[in-house]
Structure 1
Amino acid sequence: MFQNVPNLPFTNAKIAASVGLTVDDFQALPVTRAACNVLFDGLAESRSGLIPMVGEGGAFDQAGFRVGWAKSCILFIFGLFFFGKANFIWVLLAVKFAHDWQPDLIPGPKEMGLFKVWGIV
């Protein structure tokens, strides 16, 4: 996205007017990598689809964009904790709860050296 967007002209006057700018104002704005990343995160609703950015009347659908961006962030964090590297935190929590339940029988995460593993993960 970042490779193509800076080379494309901005032509949608209704979107520009919905935020109080003109087409020429948008054309003069620099396209940064961070802006492209935020926009793509907000638009990428799933692997196969993008959130419609233009609402009724051709204006920018700010509410739809915010919902899509929030959904993307929530799904990313959920995936990180359940399927990614952060899923090791569940091991730490399980050991901590077991230690709190039976402190005489089950050592805590620090005694088991689990926090050293966290640095490797």
Structure 2
Amino acid sequence: MRIPDEGALLDALRPELDRRLASAGLDRTGDEVVICTYARHHRMAVTPEGLGPVRTGGTMQDPTDAGATAVAPDALATALLGSSSLHDLSATRPDVAPGPGEDVDRALFPRLTADVLTYYLPW
């Protein structure tokens, strides 16, 4: 699924992403979380109060060498909310690559399991 405005989605999910980082016990205060979707990249500063607002920039050459997590635009929703973690996706998709902060990637992009009722049950 393609997301028309990745920055807006990441900004809306910021409280959840912040909760994921905190639950993992990671203190990255002063660092930045950078997610590259190839056509754009998105930065969130890690502050004592949590993740800062999303700042969107242009393309990024060699995102993982620059400290970013690379996620193809059509894999971002799955990485954030799907049953495959970022590391699961990177094993099957060459356009998904964890950044140098493996612990941060595992915290922000975990494997989620849930059943979603997407149809109406008449009983």
Judge same fold: TM > 0.5, yes or no. Answer: no
More strand by percentage: 2
Give TM-score scaled by structure 2 length.
0.30
Name the structure with the higher helix share. 1
Greater length-normalized contact order (CA 8 Å, ≥ 6 residues apart): 2
The higher radius of gyration belongs to 1
